[in-house]
Structures are given as C-alpha cells and as structure tokens.
Amino acid sequence: MTRKAWAGRRGRSQAATRAGMVVPAVMIYVGLLVVPVGYAVYYSLTDYNGFPSQTPEFTGLDNYREVFSSTDITAAMVVTGIVAAAGAALVNVAALGLALLLRQTNRFNTFGRIVMFYPHVLSALVVGFLWQALLGPQGVVNAMMEKAGASSLPFLSDETWALWTMIFVIAWALFGVQLVIYLAGLQTISPDLVEAARIDGAGRWQVFRAVTWPSLAPTVTVAIITSCLSLLKTYDVVVSLTGGGPAGSTKTLAYNILAVSFPERRVGLASAQAVVLVVAAAVLAFTVLALRRRAEEGAESVG
C-alpha cells in the first residue's frame, strides 16, 4: 500500500472517529433545542388546540398581533419585566454582599454558606406555600403583628404589595446559586493584588472598588444573565404564592402561557408568547453581554 493510501485511510478513520463523537451531541442538540424551537415557531403561526383531531390552521402573524394587543398579555409582560429587573438587582446585590461576608473559609462561614444555599434546594412550589403561610392575611407574620398591637400588612392582598412580596420570595429562593457563583469568582482574585493594594494604603472600600469589583466582572456578567433568565421564566412561585392575584397583578408571561393559554387550549397563542419570551431572553442576554464587554476587558487587564 502506498504512503498516500495509508494517509487517506488514516484521515478517513480520524474523520469517522470525530463524527462518532460529534453526532450524538448534535442529535441531542437538535432533538432538545432545534426541534422544540422549530415546532414552537410553527405552532405560533397557526390556530391549533393541541388535539390530534385538529390540524393546525395557518393564520400568519395573528397570534403575534394578539400577544401585543391583548391587555392581559401585555400586562403580564410588564410584570415579567419588573420581576426580571428588580429581582435580578435584588438577587445579585444580596448574593454579592453575602459572598463578600462569607469569602473566608472557616467553620462559621461554611455553615453560613450551607444555610444561605438551602432555600434553593426547596422546590419553588414549596417555597410559595411556605411564604403563603407566613405572609397571608392570617399568616404567622400578621398574627404576630396583631398580637403586638400593630395593624396587619397586606403582603398578599394588595396589588403592589403582592408583586413586591413575590419578587422578594423569588429572590430568597434564587440567590443561593448566585452566592455560589460569586464565591467561586472571589476565589479567582489574586491575593497578591489585594495585598499590593493594601500596602499602597487602600482601605476596604477602595480595595473593593479598584481590585475586587473589576476582577469580578466576568462573574457578574454570568450571575446577571443566569438570574435574569431564571426570573423571566417565573411560574411555580406564582402558582403557589399568589395564584396570579390579587386581580391578576402577579401574572407573569410564563404563568400566562402555562396556566391561562394552555388550559384554554390555545396552543398557537401560547407558542407565540413562548417565542416572544425566548426572543426577549436572547435580546436581554446579548444586551447584558454587550454592556459588560468593556468591564470584562478591564478585568482581563487587572488579571
């Protein structure tokens, strides 16, 4: 056999090996990502009740027109936006603050990390029911306030209070993951840099501003994006804490898709809302990435 033929056979063998490793991953990617997205986009252009007896009827962009003209759906979009923005701010500030407090490794901090991560282990539904029992009109907190002679607070019975209560509960359940992300990020900061800053006379705040914060830039980006995406999909806590009420004031877009449009068997409309949500998630993620690029470049120069 010639040298050229050997090289050809070896090349084909290597290509087959590479294909053998890549194809399963591609199949999983296509099956779990491309196909669902494709179906959702297709259904979003149809009138379909999800039953085998009905053939999806092509209706063009009607479902998208309804998404942006329906009072209910646009209200749910606004609530989702508030939950994502305020929730992400709350989660990240709380997680970063606690990570700075718990960054040193000792027994107390290890215990503290476990306690702070614990809410995330609970199912979101359980979290909602738990806080319902605590903050409901006859819940533990209001009962204690009344015993102390104070008037009760409308945590779940006033539209504005209920929305902010829900954001607080979601942040409580979510921030454990962000805490771990920030703790991991803090471990990557070189102690030499911190020490050098201190030798130069920098105080705690100056060390944080000039060294810690710039070095954490990539971590902050990941933490913001992951928390925003989780918050955009808020559903379970709505179901168990408020049921979307009072008066629809805590209905998120994901809740509207799963608890309103699907039970009404409006698969086309539900799909259109889901597509809008995915596009919004992508736009948000890429916007955060773009806005954070300069900060991340700064981090590289610090590192």
Partner 1 sequence: MSILRRRTALAAGASLLLPLALAGCGDNSAGGDAKKVRMLVNLTDNLNQAYWEKLVSPFEKSTGIDVQIEGPTGKSVAETFPQQLAAGTAPDVIQSIYPDANTAPELLDLSDLDWVDGTPMVDTYSLDGKRYVVGVGSQAQSLVFYNKTAFDKAGIDKTPTTWKEFTDALGRLDDAGYTPMQTAGQYMTGLQLQQLFHPALNTSHPKWQTAVTKEELNIGDAYQPMFQHYADWLKAGYFAKDDVGLDPSTADGNFVAGKVGVYPNGSWFLASLDAAGKLPFEVGVFSPPVDDGQSYPGPQGATMADPYMIWEGSGNVDGAKQLVKYLATDKTAIETQLRADGIFRQGTDLEQSPLATEVQAIVDKAPELVSVGEGAGDNRLPVTGFNPKFTEIVQSLYTSRTPEQAARAIDQWVSENR
Contact residues: partner 1, CB under 8 A: 32-33, 35-40, 43, 49-54, 69-72, 132, 136-138, 152, 154-159, 162, 218, 221-222, 225-226, 229-230, 232-233, 242-249, 254, 257, 260, 262-267, 270-271, 274-275, 277-278, 281-282, 285-286, 289
Name the DSSP class of 106. Answer: S
Nearer to partner 1, 122 or 222 (CB): 222
Minimum separation from the CB atom of position 18 to partner 1 (A): 20
Rounded distance between C-alpha atoms, residue 296 and residue 285, angstroms: 15
Spatial distance between the Cα atoms of 223 and 188, rounded to a whole number of angstroms: 15
Length of the chain counted residue by residue? 303
Enumerate the β-bridge partners of residue 58. 46
Q: For 97-101, which contacts have Cβ atoms below 8 Å and span 24 or more sequence positions? A: 98/175, 98/179, 99/179, 99/182, 99/183, 99/185, 99/186, 100/182, 100/186, 100/208, 100/212
Of 112 and 246, the one with the shorter C-beta distance to partner 1 is 246
75 vs 210 by CB, closer to partner 1:
75
Q: CA neighbours within 13 Å on the CB side: how many for 258?
A: 13
* Residue 23 C-beta: closest distance to partner 1, Å: 18
**Closer CB to partner 1, 77 or 277, in the complex:** 277
CA distance 165 to 121: 20
Taking the complex as a whole, how short is the minimal distance between the CB of residue 235 and partner 1, in angstroms? 10
Q: 208 vs 296, which CB is nearer to partner 1?
A: 296
Least Å from the CB of residue 180 to partner 1: 16
Smallest distance, Å, CB 89 to partner 1?
A: 19
